[in-house]
Amino acid sequence: MITPPSDIYGTELERTATVLVTAEDATTTLTYTVLFNVLPPNDDASLSNLYVDGETIAGFNTNTYSYMYYVAYSQTQVPIVSAVPTDSNAEVQVTHAVNLDGTQAERTSTVLVIAEDGITELIYEVVFNKMTVSDDATLSNLTVNGETVQNFHPSVVNYIVTLPFGSETPFVLGTPSHEYAEVTVNNAVDLHGTDEERTTTIEVTAEDGETIRLYSILFNVSLVGINKPEGISISLYPNPASSELIVNSTGFRFNKAERVQIINSVGKIQTANILNISEKQINISVNNLSNGLYFLVVIRDGKQFSKRFVVLK
């Protein structure tokens, strides 16, 4: 016969179950007893982990209850704090910060941990601070078509870069020294135009939104060292020319599809007013050109060569 305990939270007698075993002879008996003890509820109110936006907070320790967490100066959204209790039966209550620009109380998220016993409590807190706003509007690097500008230094803002003949507007990239600074590149609009049209500007706005530094690159297009095909040459006359320029060839023959360009002294392409093309000679009118120095450029098979001439009327 089994007699269960009458009260597992009571006295020792009340917490005891008995098992009476009677032998077949109906006379011999043996009694077994089981004393029940109920473990007290866990009083562990600690955390095993503390998260900010899903990442364990730096320096977390179960026995450390207060933390500082830094956010970007421009951040307005309060980070999400979550936690895992050491005892799975403990209860966790998170009260989030309400204003990253407010008082310390408004910038603090709290984690209340209530142990299984319903009595023991621990409070962890995360205080959010904004990083000091930066006024750094310098560049750490400045590149043209992937190459750092010669003699670049963050404190030097004006540069001159010479491009090979026939270049298109290059790709300019400015890398800010501070990760939260913003960079705006305004590309040159005409590599053969005025100084202003041939200049790319790089505007750097610091994190504070007020400090601005302007870098500039003035591009010149080179007319020196043009790739000249071997064994051929041209001659020009009269030079200076007043109304018509005659171009003679040596070592090759002109054709009707010849690419001829006239470029002024600042690298701007002028209209080449071709009057006639024969195998050995090209006649060009210079009536549309002002007095000054020019370069005649002939492009053949992807290669170019040039001759200098003067217009004098």
Query: 200: number of CA atoms within 13 Å, CB side?
Result: 26
36: tokens are: 């029940």
Q: What mean pLDDT is reported for the chain?
A: 89
Which residues are CB-neighbours of 48 under 8 A, at least 6 positions away? 62, 84, 85, 86
Give the tens place of pLDDT for each residue, 17-39.
Answer: 999 999 988 889 999 999 999 88
- Sorted by where each starts, the structural domains of the chain and their CATH numbers stand as 2-35 (no CATH), 47-130 (2.60.40), 139-221 (no CATH), 233-311 (2.60.40.3080)
Closest CA to 90 of 62, 109, 118, 110: 118
Q: What is the pTM of this model?
A: 0.45
Residues in a beta bridge with 72? none
Give the tens place of pLDDT for each residue, 95-147.
Answer: 999 999 999 999 999 999 999 999 999 999 999 998 888 899 999 999 998 89
pLDDT given at position 267: 65
Higher pLDDT, 232 or 219: 219
Q: Which range has highest mean pLDDT (47-56, 186-195, 258-267, 303-312)?
A: 47-56
Question: Does 293 have pLDDT greater than 70?
Answer: yes
Task: Note every long-range contact of 181-189, with CB atoms under 8 Å and residues 24 or more positions apart, other chains counting.
Answer: 181/134, 181/136, 181/137, 181/205, 181/206, 181/207, 183/139, 188/217, 188/219
107: tokens are: 């910038």
Q: How far apart are CA 24 and CA 18, in angstroms?
A: 19
Q: Per-residue pLDDT averaged across 144-162, rounded? A: 94
170 three-state secondary structure: coil
Question: Does 296 have pLDDT greater than 90?
Answer: no
Strand (E) positions, 14-98? 16-22, 29-35, 47-52, 55-56, 66-71, 81-85, 91-95
Give the tens place of pLDDT for each residue, 197-229.
Answer: 999 999 999 988 899 999 999 998 876 444 455
DSSP characters over 76-94: -SPPPEEEEESSTTSEEEE
pLDDT given at position 225: 45
